[in-house]
């Protein structure tokens, strides 16, 4: 299959949306297409503008209020977390990472569209009552799959994790104890872009990696009030990276009976990175105070830079110009995953509500542009 692979997930209408009478304007036709249909209120120019965007995969009907988009997988409101894991190609991505590839999963879309739910599942009911295992997200399912594979390969994989956040163009370590500290993003000829002094924590079992996930997610989820928190987490990008080193070829100290591989065998190093992107909604320019507009600018800048890099990477190799990874911290951090032999799975999260129509169209158009990147493992 070719990459990046594109998946759309349409969440159900929430109770609140149903109560206030929102209509469902997004439908999956069951053939990998998403259909967005709405009658726009008179005098709305914005919608027409979104639809006139050049997207080869969108068929816009003559009345300019309907659009159909085609993707490699579309999950409608009824899809379970397991359906998404199995049907999005996530399992294959885990296997490719074990084979030494740099793999990245992006969840993007407006705030409230289901990015965090898709990646991590819903919040636990309480400390003692964790969320049902059926609701666990792509991350926990991938960890389980990774550890199973590791076990079946005789535990020859060395696993470690790092967890970073980019907020207002500052990189913070979510695993460091105490208040989050800002780290420097550097570049060297040998390593490319890297984060100086970031913590990387070894783990060997599911409890340990899920513990790291919760530890990192905690400051984002619980910092102050629930409202402020949601605002914070939707204004920052979070990147959890699993580093997978194959111990094959290295004589193991713990199992001296093991036949050593020839030393010429390179030790493979793959990565599996989960990116929960900041909400893509356009923050209104007017009325945003100092702090808000700095946030909005940082988000717009990095999402634009990401979209820009991705659309340039979509060009055939021979025709590629310079890829401007340097335009944002996000694209610098992801330079290796996006280019070269990197493998990408994009999950566009969408609300079905009529109130989100214009953001939904903008998410789908963003996805369409990015969809034209092709790299093969």
Binding site residues, ligand ADP, CB under 6 A: 11-12, 14, 109, 111-117, 122, 234, 349
Q: Match 């409101």 to its residue by tokens.
A: 77
Residue 7 interacts with Mg ion (CB under 5 A)?
no
Residue 116 interacts with Mg ion (CB under 5 A)?
yes
Partner from ligand ADP, Mg ion, none contacting 114, C-beta within 5 to 8 A by type: ligand ADP
Q: How far apart are CA 97 and CA 160, in angstroms?
A: 13
Residue 110 interacts with Mg ion (CB under 5 A)?
no
Compare residues 116 and 328 and give the one whose CB is closer to ligand ADP: 116
Partner from Mg ion, ligand ADP, none contacting 46, C-beta within 5 to 8 A by type: none
Smallest separation, CB 14 to ligand ADP (Å)? 6
Burial class (CB in 10 A: 0-12, 13-18, 19+), 232: middle
Q: How far apart are CA 57 and CA 82, in angstroms?
A: 27
Partner from Mg ion, ligand ADP, none contacting 117, C-beta within 5 to 8 A by type: ligand ADP
Compare residues 36 and 278 and give the one whose CB is closer to ligand ADP: 278
Partner from Mg ion, ligand ADP, none contacting 137, C-beta within 5 to 8 A by type: none
Smallest separation, CB 123 to ligand ADP (Å)? 8
Compare residues 109 and 270 and give the one whose CB is closer to ligand ADP: 109
Residue ranges for the known binding site for ATP are 109-116
Smallest separation, CB 226 to ligand ADP (Å)? 11
Smallest separation, CB 238 to ligand ADP (Å)? 10
Compare residues 77 and 206 and give the one whose CB is closer to ligand ADP: 77
Compare residues 117 and 163 and give the one whose CB is closer to ligand ADP: 117
Contact 195, 202 (CB under 8 A): no
Q: Which residue is nearest to ligand ADP (CB)?
A: 114
Residue 5 interacts with Mg ion (CB under 5 A)?
no
Compare residues 122 and 154 and give the one whose CB is closer to ligand ADP: 122
Residue ranges for the known binding site are 109-116
Please give the residue ranges that form the binding site for Mg ion (CB under 5 A): 115-116
């Amino acid at each position: 299959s070719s990459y990046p692979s594109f998946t759309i997930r349409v969440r159900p209408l929430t109770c609140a949306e149903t109560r206030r009478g929102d209509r469902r304007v997004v439908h999956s036709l069951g053939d990998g297409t998403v259909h967005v249909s709405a009658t726009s209120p008179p005098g709305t120019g914005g919608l027409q503008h979104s639809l006139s965007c050049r997207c080869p995969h969108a068929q816009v009907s003559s009345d300019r209020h309907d659009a159909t988009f085609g993707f490699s997988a579309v999950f409608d409101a009824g899809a379970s977390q397991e359906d998404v894991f199995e049907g999005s190609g996530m399992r294959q991505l885990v296997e490719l990472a074990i084979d030494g590839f740099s793999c990245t999963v992006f969840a993007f879309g407006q705030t409230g569209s289901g990015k965090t739910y898709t990646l991590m599942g819903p919040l636990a009911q309480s400390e003692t009552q964790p969320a049902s295992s059926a609701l666990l997200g792509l991350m926990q399912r991938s960890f389980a799959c990774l550890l199973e594979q590791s076990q079946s390969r005789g535990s020859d994989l060395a696993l470690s994790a790092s967890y970073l956040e980019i907020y207002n163009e500052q990189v913070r370590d979510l695993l460091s104890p105490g208040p989050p500290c800002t780290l420097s993003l550097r570049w060297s000829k040998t390593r490319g872009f890297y984060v100086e002094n970031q913590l990387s924590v070894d783990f060997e079992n599911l409890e340990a990696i899920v513990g790291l996930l919760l530890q990192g997610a905690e400051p984002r989820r619980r910092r102050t009030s629930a409202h402020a928190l949601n605002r914070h987490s939707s204004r920052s990008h979070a990147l959890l990276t699993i580093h997978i080193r194959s111990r094959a070829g290295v004589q193991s100290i713990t199992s001296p009976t093991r036949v050593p591989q020839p030393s010429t065998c390179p030790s493979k190093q793959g990565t599996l990175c989960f990116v929960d992107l900041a909400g893509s909604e356009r923050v209104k320019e007017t009325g945003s105070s100092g702090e808000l507009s700095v946030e909005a600018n940082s988000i717009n800048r990095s999402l634009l830079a990401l979209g820009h890099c991705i659309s340039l990477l979509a060009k055939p190799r021979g025709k590629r110009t310079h890829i401007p990874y340097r335009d944002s911290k996000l694209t610098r951090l992801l330079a290796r995953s996006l280019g070269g032999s990197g493998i990408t799975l994009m999950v566009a999260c969408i609300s079905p509500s009529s109130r989100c129509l214009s953001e939904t169209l903008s998410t789908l158009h963003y996805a369409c542009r990015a969809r034209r990147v092709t790299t093969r493992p």
